[in-house]
Amino acid sequence: MFVEAEIWTVAHTEQGNAVLVKPVGSELAVPIFIGQLEAHSILIGLGGVPMPRPLTHDLFVSLLEKLNITLEKVEITELKEGTFYARLLLKQGLKKYVIDSRPSDALGLAVRVKCPIYIAEQVIAEAGVSIKLVSDEESKEKEKEKGPSAKELEVNRLKEELQKAIEAENYEDAARIRDRLRELGEN
């Protein structure tokens, strides 16, 4: 049985980068450890940041569009020996396809086409961790102890890119980065 889920956050932890997939309405999230490039790609997709050249996930989305294939949903299906498995559910006219995928790739595509994400209840039972919300004051204290959040890391990265774009007099990219910083609430 599957339940609808969402990407709660992408974070850097002591064990590496992780995307936390949270069932809708739940206080649990499933941390799936992924590579740095995959985390970066998911963050770009979540933020809708246009890239000057397509990343792999953007290329795949373009290919699907050209072939009139719709990514209907992604499913995180199982956890075996510490490895998560996922699949893409595609539709082309009356034909339906199921394609095996790494969860990081499936999520990278899902954030770009804004399709639903589902996760198996068994995966939640095996790997779910509590993300019970605490008061704002407690949260701020814990954030100070933990170090920068995923948002702070993204803001810092974007500020560095903005500085480089300005120095290179690449004002088109600078404007794009500035707009993304504004979306994140930074001036």
pLDDT in tens, the chain (187 residues): 999 999 999 988 888 899 999 999 999 999 999 999 999 899 989 888 888 888 899 999 999 999 999 999 999 999 999 999 999 999 999 999 999 999 999 999 999 999 999 999 999 999 999 887 544 555 556 555 656 666 777 788 888 888 887 888 787 877 888 878 887 776 5
My answer on whether 114 and 143 are in the same domain is no
Cα(137)–Cα(169) distance, rounded to whole angstroms?
42
Q: How many domains does the chain have?
A: 2
Q: What is the C-alpha separation between 163 and 113, in angstroms, rounded?
A: 30
Report the C-alpha gap between 17 and 35 in whole angstroms. 6
Contact 115, 71 (CB under 8 A): yes
Answer yes or no: do 121 and 83 share one domain.
yes
Domain of residue 176 covers: 136-183
- State whether 111 and 146 are in the same domain: no
Do 87 and 172 sit in the same domain of this protein? no
Do both 27 and 8 map to the same domain?
yes
CA–CA separation, 75 and 3 (whole Å): 9
**For the chain, what's the residue count?**
187
Q: Let me know whether 52 and 10 are in one domain.
A: yes
Give yes or no: residues 90 and 11 share one domain: yes
CB 79 within 8 A of CB 24: no
Question: CA distances (Å), 104 to each of 19, 34, 181, in order?
Answer: 8, 6, 25
β-bridge partners, 87:
75, 100
Instruction: Specify the CATH number for the domain of residue 76.
Output: 3.10.690.10
